[in-house]
Amino acid sequence: MDEDRDREEAKGAKGAKGAKGANEANEAKEPAPAGMRQGLTSYGDTGFSLFLRKAFIKGAGFSDAALQRPVIGIAGTGSAYNPCHGNAPQLIAAVERGVMLAGGLPMVFPTISLHESFAAPTSMVLRNLMAMDTEEMIGAQPMDAVVLVGGCDKTVPAQLMGAASAGKPAIQLITGSMLTGSHRGERVGACTDCRRWWARLRAQDVGEAEIAQVNEQLVPSVGTCSVMGTASTMACIAEALGMTVPGGASPPAVSAERMRIAEATGAQAVAMAREPDRFRPAQILTAPAFENALRVLLAIGGSTNAVVHLAAIAGRCGFEFDLDAFDRLGRETPVLVDLKPSGAHYMEDFHAAGGMATLLRELKPLLHLDVLTVSGRTLGQELEAAGAGFAQSVVRPLANPIYPQGGIAVLRGNLAPGGAIVKVSAASPALLEHEGRAVVFEDAADLAARIDDPALDVNADDVLVLKRIGPKGAPGMPEAGALPIPLKLARAGVKDMVRISDGRMSGTAFGTVVLHVTPEAAVGGPLAHVQSGDRIRLSASRRELTLLVSPQELTARAAANPVQQPSAERGYRRLFLQSVLQADRGVDFDFLVPAGPKRRLPGR
Ligand code: FES
């Protein structure tokens, strides 16, 4: 903060007090304050606000020379409760180096940190709180651009939602995926193998001693889950949206390459700060960019959770997510990436195969190549710069896909008037066309109490239905949609059944699992009125989810058992239950979505 400029600004502020109207035309021409001068704390005296801020920043040891530089906020999400962000201190140091090398001033600040296994009842309840934290702290503190450091499932969505609403130039830095482990010569990694081994324990296929050994190997380093779960999916989506530096999605958390990406991210943030109007999120997060991201989600066999998160991020940008149009994209976008849970490999293999450049090269005919990225170049230019591909076996060519159609199908029918989804690439093909008897669990507690009861009336061709795990029901739409196979069937060798709920499932899970049934049971959706013994028809090929019960009968059931919507006495839980939207609107809060007409996404 320069002394003469400070005095001029203070004088200007005093003058403006007496002649606001007369000065408006002149003031409109002046550039908005930048660096440490922006967003002054309100004391009713601009000069004093600046004077006081300067005193405190000097107290922190900053020189005048440092304070002349563009200020780059670095949103840190390191926490002892978050092993997925365990490399955050090293990453932040590398970002700071990049910022300094490019002539900026790095300013690290904390936001809340969310880890899947350390947030009760589910991290999804807190995603919107993190988005609000991110948005408000970007807006409240002086910065010209912001680096968002995050990786675990809800973090990247929350940061992109917050940054989109804050409107300052923003760039995402992914923490990176963990390494894979080895159990008796077999490669294992979180969390697809966590589920697989737990299912083996339930089926009495392995004992307690061996499961303890596997437990030591499933998470062999810091970083995000090593398969194409939600974190890896959102990393790929962030790069596809143009919100990371090229190649930012896939380097492992503990690699030197990840640190170089961090340094490059810091440097690029300074370049963005110097051209703020070119690099605001609205310039990057455009309709064509979202369509590219949706293509990538489908082609990677990505997590179903990303459908909810993309709807939320797009909602912040003034788009309304069109599930049916997304389904049409799915019919023409093949699955190309052979990663668990849909395929065989892990994220470090994807990275060794060239990462997103390899995938985007294959997807080129389906992409909008003229979209701007945070690098200042278009996606097409970035692909040109990445050069030619090489022989590898993780990303298939467009002509020889793993699945000819995208990994996620959108279902409609009287059981899900607002839509539901099924990850066909992780399902049992034989169950994707299925009619069966419903075995209903009223909520998660009912499921826990009865699923393993030897007296439970259930057969392998029944349809397991779980109610009240939607946005308001649980609340927070927990990842309980992949119901466990009832113990007596698991021990008889049953590996998969059709399962239906208004909840989500982990991106690392697999099975014939129908999710996000909308409207949810807790707000009186038809799911609330399903009874054990009803018949349900699932047809992925016809995109159909039908409860074979007459409308008259459903109306009578609704009248006999009116739904009481959940509420809470106080605090964030009360805000959540009052304001949360359904899955098709991204489970965002109604008051965080901009008002006014919406543009449909993806376009028709
Ligand atoms: Fe953090 Fe899987 S628990 S990415």
Q: Pocket of ligand 1, candidates 116, 126, 228, 506: which has the most ligand atoms within 8 Å of its Cβ, to mutate?
A: 116
Confidence band of 341 (pLDDT split at 50, 70, 90): confident
Residues with Cβ within 8 Å of residue 308, at least 6 apart in sequence = 477, 504, 516, 583, 586, 587
Angle at 152 between CA 146 and CA 153, to 5 degrees: 105
Residue pLDDT, tens place only, 508-520: 788 999 999 999 9
CA 423 from chain centre, in angstroms, equals: 17
| Residue 272: C-alpha distances to residues 71, 194, 374, 442 (Å) | 11, 41, 7, 51
Pocket of ligand 1 (CB under 6 A): 84, 115-117, 152-153, 190-191, 224-225, 229, 231
DSSP secondary structure letters along 316-365: HTTEEE-HHHHHHHHHH--B-B-BTTTSSB-HHHHHHTTHHHHHHHHHGG
State the Cα–Cα distance between residues 128 and 277, nearest whole angstrom.
26
Rg (CA), the chain: 25
Q: Could you tell me which CATH class the domain 408-566 is placed in?
A: alpha beta
Cα 128 to ligand 1 centre (Å): 18
- pLDDT of 507: 83
Closest of 205, 225, 185 to residue 84, by C-alpha: 225
What is the share, in percent, of the chain residues with pLDDT greater than 70? Answer: 95
Ligand 1 atom 1: residue of nearest CA: 152
- pLDDT of 304: 94
State the Cα–Cα distance between residues 2 and 117, nearest whole angstrom.
48
Cα 158 to ligand 1 centre (Å): 14
Cα 341 to ligand 1 centre (Å): 14
- pLDDT of 18: 35
Ligand 1 atom 2: residue of nearest CA: 225
* Closest ligand 1 atom number to CA of residue 508: 2
Confidence band of 595 (pLDDT split at 50, 70, 90): very high
Tell me, what amino acid is at 15? G
State the Cα–Cα distance between residues 231 and 339, nearest whole angstrom.
13
State the Cα–Cα distance between residues 422 and 405, nearest whole angstrom.
13
* Beta strand spans in 111-229 (E): 145-150, 170-174, 181-183, 186-188
Tell me, what amino acid is at 371? V
Does the structure show a pLDDT above 80 at 123? Answer: yes
- pLDDT of 14: 40
Does the structure show a pLDDT above 80 at 20? Answer: no
- pLDDT of 2: 52
Joined tokens for residue 545: 């989810």
- pLDDT of 509: 84
Average pLDDT over the chain, rounded to an integer: 93
State the Cα–Cα distance between residues 205 and 211, nearest whole angstrom.
10
Cα 82 to ligand 1 centre (Å): 9
Cα 178 to ligand 1 centre (Å): 9
Least confident of 38-47, 94-103, 169-178: 38-47
Does the structure show a pLDDT above 50 at 12? Answer: no
* Closest ligand 1 atom number to CA of residue 116: 3
How far the first Cα of the chain sits from its last, in Å, is 50
Residue pLDDT, tens place only, 374-424: 999 999 999 999 999 999 999 999 999 999 987 899 999 999 999 999 999
* Closest ligand 1 atom number to CA of residue 117: 3
* Closest ligand 1 atom number to CA of residue 153: 4
* Closest ligand 1 atom number to CA of residue 83: 1
pTM for the predicted model, two decimal places: 0.94
Average pLDDT over residues 492-521: 95
Give the length of the chain. 604
Confidence band of 227 (pLDDT split at 50, 70, 90): very high
Cα 503 to ligand 1 centre (Å): 18
* Closest ligand 1 atom number to CA of residue 232: 4
Cα 107 to ligand 1 centre (Å): 27
DSSP secondary structure letters along 428-496: -GGGSEEEEEEEEESSHHHHHHHTT-TT----TTSEEEE-S-STTTTTS--S--SPPPPHHHHHTT---
- pLDDT of 31: 77
Cα 85 to ligand 1 centre (Å): 9
Average pLDDT over residues 501-510: 90
* Closest ligand 1 atom number to CA of residue 230: 4
Residues 146/138, Cβ–Cβ less than 8 Å: yes
Least confident of 25-34, 285-294, 301-310: 25-34
Does the structure show a pLDDT above 90 at 57? Answer: yes
* Closest ligand 1 atom number to CA of residue 82: 1
Joined tokens for residue 404: 């000819």
Cα 152 to ligand 1 centre (Å): 5
> Which residues make beta-bridge pairs with 546?
537
- pLDDT of 10: 43
Cα 115 to ligand 1 centre (Å): 6
State the Cα–Cα distance between residues 559 and 466, nearest whole angstrom.
21
Domain boundaries, the chain: 1-11+42-66, 69-179+221-386, 181-215, 408-566
Average pLDDT over residues 253-274: 98
- pLDDT of 406: 77
Buried b (16+ CB within 10 A) or exposed e, 275-296: ebeebbbebbbbbbbbbbbbbb
With 0-12 CB in 10 A as exposed, 13-18 as middle and 19+ as buried, what is 342? buried
Residue 127 has a CB neighbour count (10 Å cut-off) of 26
Average pLDDT over residues 280-296: 97
Q: Pocket of ligand 1, candidates 114, 124, 153: which has the most ligand atoms within 8 Å of its Cβ, to mutate?
A: 153
State the Cα–Cα distance between residues 117 and 95, nearest whole angstrom.
27
The single-letter DSSP state of residue 69 is S
The single-letter DSSP state of residue 148 is E
Cα 417 to ligand 1 centre (Å): 32
Average pLDDT over residues 129-153: 98
Query: In the chain, how long is the greatest CA-to-CA distance?
Result: 84
Give the torsion through C-alpha atoms of 512, 515, 521, 522, to 10 deg: 130
Does the structure show a pLDDT above 90 at 19? Answer: no
